[in-house]
Amino acid sequence: MADTSHITREARVRTALLLAAGTGTRLQPLTLDAPKCLTEVGGIPILERLINNLRVQGFRRLIVVIGYLGGCIQEFLGQRTGDMRVDYVLNPDYRITNNIYSLWLARQQIHEPFLLIESDLVFEACMLDNMLQPDKMAISRILPWMNGTTVELGSQGRVTAFRRRGDMDTTAHQYKSVNLYSLSIPTWNKIEKRLHRYIVKGRLDEYYEVVFSEMVADRTLSFDAVFFDANRWYEIDTLTDLLEAEAMFTPLRSIDRRSLRDLGPAANLA
């Protein structure tokens, strides 16, 4: 575990914002009657792993944007967050909007530096050690399974550019975004203003990374990169992802691959 003794108690990020409004259609049929974040990896729901990681790191507050089957998330968290304060934000338009709108809706709940996190990530608690100060971005070496947003780094370990989804490149200067950010209040204030431009134009189906990309490009936003071990985290979007995450996080457990294959063509398994 990294040495975080130099981070003062006051400087640590203690609030997390979790975006969990989506329908998780690519994980069907598992998500037909449960939100994506309650999918189990190695017998443990994704959300439970996230909560445990936050509690280990001393987080005191959790803001959750809910939408699809949000009541299931509220019921689940009601029994597992201990003394962590939990506040909910409802995205009633979760079926026709993207995460940019969920992030925008959470703005009135944001009063302190926070960790922005997607609800489909599985990783170990110690990997947050270097994310406990604001204005950090988790990135990873690119592996074949990865897709989505990538970034480029400058000589000082700062993110210099975002690359759109689909432009995956395994060059030494390009890395996968883990979709995990720590944000200071000054940084959030700038992001909120830029988000507003998109919202008033009705661009509610965008990813918030579009805003981050634009702001990094015009140098109004800056992130220090924090490397996540590519073999110790997973982003679960599909049943294939779930199968691989099971193998990663339960290496000593016999995995019944047939049980996932039996779910049908949606599994898209090799």
Domain contains 85: yes
Q: State the chain's mean pLDDT as an integer.
A: 88
Q: In whole angstroms, how far apart are CA 162 and each of 158, 214, 216?
A: 12, 8, 8
Q: Is pLDDT of 3 > 50?
A: no
What would the two tokens of residue 107 be?
């703005």
**Domain span at residue 175?**
15-245
In a domain, 123, yes or no: yes
> What b/e sequence results for 222-242 when a residue is b if at least 16 CB atoms lie within 10 Å of its CB, and e otherwise?
ebbbbebebeebbbbbbbbbb
Q: Quick check: is 168 in a domain?
A: yes
Quick check: is 55 in a domain? yes
Q: Is residue 267 part of a domain?
A: no
Is residue 145, in this structure, part of any structural domain at all?
yes
> Rounded to whole angstroms, how far apart are CA atoms 115 and 199?
22
Domain of 90, CATH number, reads 3.90.550.10
Residue 230 counted as domain residue? yes
| Over residues 49-55, mean pLDDT | 96
Residue 166: the pLDDT is 55
Q: Give the CA count within 13 Å in the CB-facing half-sphere of 208.
A: 22
pLDDT at 239 over 70: yes
Query: Residue 157's pLDDT band (boundaries 50, 70, 90)?
Result: confident
251 pLDDT higher than 80: no
The percentage of the chain sitting over the pLDDT mark of 70, rounded to a whole number, equals 86
For the stretch 80-139, pLDDT in tens is 898 999 999 999 999 999 999 999 999 999 999 999 999 999 999 999 999 999 999 999
Within a domain: 67: yes
Total structural domains within the chain: 1
Three-class secondary structure assignment of the chain: CCCCCCCCCCCCCCEEEEEECCCCHHHCCCCCCCCHHHCEECCEEHHHHHHHHHHHCCCCEEEEEECCCHHHHHHHHCCCCCCCEEEEEECCCCCCCCHHHHHHHHHHHCCCCEEEEECCEEECHHHHHHHCCCCEEEEECCCCCCCCCEEEECCCCEEEEEECCCCCCCCCCEEEEEEEEEECHHHHHHHHHHHHHHHHCCCCCCCHHHHHHHHHHCCCCCCEEEEECCCCEEECCCHHHHHHHHHHHCCCCCCCHHHHHCCCHHHCCC
